[in-house]
Structure 1
């Protein structure tokens, strides 16, 4: 006879819904509870379903992805704006500085949630063990 806890620990977790929930900064398990206690601090447990979330190891991945996306988006933007409009350099620097900070602050928690959700779905770093 197979142990029931063994079945729940080995059953596959859907990755794409978990990624979408993480990107929305929600619990990757239920999609209801908040993933973060603050701006970037991951909650120890989901307030809705009590899923343990403290096992995550997001480290520098979200920051790297944020820099990658923001740098590419602003690089194309700078090239386009300078080629077509030729604004004053100080105006252009100010606009793109504010844009890069705003886009970074928007993307960083969402990409961290995405990475935590992938780790949860793939049962990485202790997410596969029962509480």
Structure 2
């Protein structure tokens, strides 16, 4: 196991889609699907689950940007409704696809760095 002082920083490592332990291997095998394990250090990725975290952060960030831009666009230019629909739709889809993978990688790297695991009741 890598000593804590030698581990890569979790946020840049996760954003780049690299292994949270060694920072060398790839985290994803597809767009959002995790590999079974790291090809460099062998870390098993089966225990990692970001659940709905990336979707929540993506919706929050994209919603803020798109609504802010729509308000500014309306106040500054008063365009027709089809322009709003085109701009908001394109931005919503584009920003969502751009942000979801890095945010999922970052949340998984933070899970590893903080030793997060499933909560359990004590008996």
User: Which contiguous aligned blocks of 4+ residues in structure 1 show a shift greater than 6 angstroms?
Assistant: 13-16
Quote the residue 1:75 is aligned against. Answer: 67
Quote the residue 1:129 is aligned against. Answer: none
Q: Residue 53 in 1 paired to residue 45 in 2? A: yes
Counterparts of 2:15 and 2:82, CA distance in 1: 34
**TM-score, normalising length: structure 1:** 0.80
Counterparts of 2:103 and 2:8, CA distance in 1: 14
Counterparts of 1:14 and 1:72, CA distance in 2: 37
Residues 18-29 of structure 1: pairs in structure 2 closer than 5 A: 18-29=10-21
Pick the aligned partner of 1:110 from 102, 108, 112.
102
Counterparts of 2:6 and 2:69, CA distance in 1: 36
Q: Indicate conservation of the 8 Å contact 1:13/1:121, yes or no.
A: no
Quote the residue 1:97 is aligned against. Answer: 89
- 1:33, CA displacement in angstroms? 1.5
Quote the residue 1:86 is aligned against. Answer: 78
| Structure 1 unmatched ranges of 5 or more | 1-7, 127-131
**TM-score, normalising length: structure 2:** 0.85
Distance 1:50 1:16, change over 3 A: closer
Q: How many residues align?
A: 118
Q: Indicate conservation of the 8 Å contact 2:36/2:44, yes or no.
A: yes
